[in-house]
Amino acid sequence: MVVYVYREKMIKRFIKRIITLNIIFALIMTIYRIIFTFYYSDWASLSQYSGDLIQAFILGVRYDCAILAYINSLVTLFFIIFWFIGKQKLFVKFVKSLKYYYTIFFGAIVTLLCIDFGFYSYFQNHMNILMFGVFEDDTQALFSTIVENYPVVWVGIGFILIFVVVYFLTKLLVERKVIGYYIEKTKIYIKVIVALILLTVNFIIARGSFGLFPLGVDDAEISTNTFINKVAINGIYTLQAAIEARSKEKDRDYIKQMGYSKDNMAKAFSDFLNTDINSIDKTKPETSLMKTTKYNKNIEETKPNVVFIMMEALGTDLMHYNSESFNVLGEFKKHIDEDFMFYRFLPANMGTIGSLESAITNIARLPLSQFLCQSKYAYNKYFYTGPMPYKNSGYETVFMYGGNSGWRNCTSYMPNVGFDRVIGEGSMPKDYERNQWGVYDEYLFDYIFKVLDENDNRKFIYIMTTSNHPPYSLPSNYQKPYPLEIDEQLKKDITGDMTLSKMRFATYQYSAQKVGEFLTRLKNSKYADNTIVAITGDHNFWSTFSYPVEKRLDEMSVPFYLYVPKKLKPNKKIDTDKIVGSHTDILPTLYNVSLSNANYWATGTDLLSDEAEENIASNCLGSIMTKDNFVIYDFASGKEKYYIWNKEKPREIVPAEQTEEHKNMVKHYKASVAIAYYMLINDGGKIK
């Protein structure tokens, strides 16, 4: 039985203690923001944005307090109910229960902030829709990677301690300073006034704004420095936005959202192709995407194999640091110098499977959508996908993955997009050395020759590598053939963990060296004159550098390397510096150097054609570029930002006023999204 010996004002004391507790957690979240800022950036780079940084911290407090207010909304509501009831024992039970309530929610906040800190170290962004990949990817390999790279036991103990500390802090502040006091008698009209004030204040803080709309993720865009914008927002807000976006996937109508109608898709095709709408078949507008390669006697005689390699994390940004003392390209460099190499090139997605799917389906990746191979669309058969022109021309089509062939449902999905065979590590020799994700690249490249040697069939082989992936391990027999000395400039540019960055550089060098050795071997083999090789990355090199908005291309870009035997090369000079491209442009390019008089469907452009210099390249992250202009389109909000290329620094962009070309670029992008969705919902049974 509780004995109440004090006659203080319990309600007033309770309100003070709850406010104090929340101030403490608001301070903890602010301290986190300070640590985040100075860990992932340096004051020298932010000093010119000091005003923006102050504004970011003020806005950050609003975001943090909004989260705390949501948590306190139930507390406020039940406090008012029990206060109005006025039962001492009932109120005491309510107060005692709060230590459990706050422990769960405040403990979860601190834990999520810690997870967000780690997430940012890898993805250079707060928690987002990529979080769902933990459950959709090769989960066992992913957790093995985490164990390899992080002290999981100590991290687990740390998370437990977070909840223990929160429990005792809440118990100390709320129970000790409140229980034991009487509920004072208060006139009903005062109770009503106080209740209304508490509810109003809680609502306003939770809303975070006095404006028409509540505080949202988009409100964090306060500076031209993208990192400062990331300082303002917190990972809990971005995670909530990701969950909301994911929940809307089933109901999203991409055609309508892009401003088109299913009853008049000819308009989307007309906008995309920049042609007269009267030239588009109204009943089967997709036929406007059908093209035919030219008759080519050399192709007819050569009947070339095609090897398309998508390499894990082969981004172009790190390539620009390549030197004799920091040699990340190894033997790949001489082939880059000999053959076609496109640097102004966008991946379809910043995740492996999204890029892989888009490159092979010949359509744009739908923004914020579930991956096709794990959606209801995985089980349709398609007439327009990448392997089909080869399959229709008598090729054997093979999908080869260095890891488990069941990854992301590939075993079921790949045959539906046109592959005759799906090969994973389980089909490869047992003596191939492996890491957590699959066989090392050198063994995967060795297996390509085994597939080529199997029979005399022409082959289209699409390969996905795994080596340049966390935990950044190397095979036991690999000795770094070239130095990786980090000079002062590179050291200054690195914002991630230095030890982890060095491991990344080593695995990047390994992958580049081994693909270079593969090309050398192929060019010295019987396949030199009858095999075309395309190489790209699935996404850029992560967790090492920070990218302001002017380096948007460096943040995302991957290379597109192309080896074409001399007999099959175009009889003209190709200036790859003037050409932009994306993953959807790879297969149209390959079709035109490997197939004679063959039909194909594609939304991309042949990058060796006369039209290539006028190409518009884009991806699902809203990066849209031409040789002269750049647009960043936010799919969720529909906001557009316009840029031109910096003449002094050709890989950087600078803000610009909107032009007609900018408008055309956005129109082209929206049409590509609408068309991609249309092609998915009108699957392969529609056209023969």
DSSP state of 174: I
Q: Given a cut of 80, is residue 112 above it in pLDDT?
A: yes
Mean pLDDT of 181-205: 82
Rounded mean pLDDT, 266-294? 95
Q: How many residues appear in the chain?
A: 688
Average pLDDT over every residue of 36-52: 81
- Contact predicate 585/567, CB 8 Å: no
Predicted confidence band of residue 129 (pLDDT cuts 50, 70, 90)? low
Q: Which two tokens stand for residue 65?
A: 């307090």
**Which CATH code of 3.40.1280.10, 3.40.720.10, 3.40.50.300, 3.90.230.10 fits the domain covering 262-681?**
3.40.720.10
Residue percentage of the chain with pLDDT more than 70: 91
Q: Looking up tokens 């309600």, which residue turns up?
A: 11
Q: Which of 80-94, 357-371, 394-408, 653-667 has the highest mean pLDDT?
A: 653-667
Q: What's the mean per-residue pLDDT of the chain?
A: 88
Torsion 608-610-611-615 (CA) sign: positive
In the block, residue with structure tokens 């939770």? 206
Task: State the pLDDT at residue 135.
Answer: 56
Cβ atoms of 121 and 39 closer than 8 Å: no
Q: Which residue has the higher pLDDT, 231 or 633?
A: 633
Check pLDDT > 80 for residue 685: no
Per-residue tokens: 171:
């118990």
CB-count exposure of residue 78 (10 Å: 0-12, 13-18, 19+): middle
β partners of residue 460:
306, 397
> What is the model's pLDDT at position 499?
87
Statement: residue 453 has pLDDT above 70: yes
How confident is the model at residue 358, as a pLDDT?
A: 94
Q: What is the pLDDT of residue 238?
A: 82
Evaluate whether 307 touches 532 at the Cβ level (below 8 Å): yes
152-170 and 88-123 helices cross at what angle (nearest 10)? Answer: 150
Predicted confidence band of residue 287 (pLDDT cuts 50, 70, 90): very high
Cβ contact 626:665 at 8 Å = yes
How would residue 466 be classed by pLDDT, with cut points 50, 70 and 90?
very high
Q: What is the model's pLDDT at position 576? A: 96
- Poorest-pLDDT segment among 435-444, 647-656, 677-686: 677-686
Which band of pLDDT confidence, cut at 50, 70 and 90, is reported for residue 313?
A: very high
pLDDT of residue 250: 61
Q: What is the mean pLDDT of residues 565-576?
A: 94
**For the chain, which residues make up each domain, given as ranges?**
10-247, 262-681
Q: How far is CA 166 from the centre of its chain?
A: 33
Which whole number is the average pLDDT over 43-59? 84
Least confident among 185-189, 343-347, 406-410, 460-464: 185-189
Q: What is the pLDDT of residue 179?
A: 58
- Both tokens of 150, joined, read 């992080």
Q: What is residue 439's three-state secondary structure?
A: strand
Would you place residue 577 in the very low, low, confident or very high pLDDT band (cuts 50, 70, 90)? very high
pTM over 0.85: no
pLDDT of residue 140: 63
Instruction: Name the band, by pLDDT with cuts 50, 70 and 90, for residue 31.
Output: very high
Residue 385 burial (CB count, 10 A)? 25
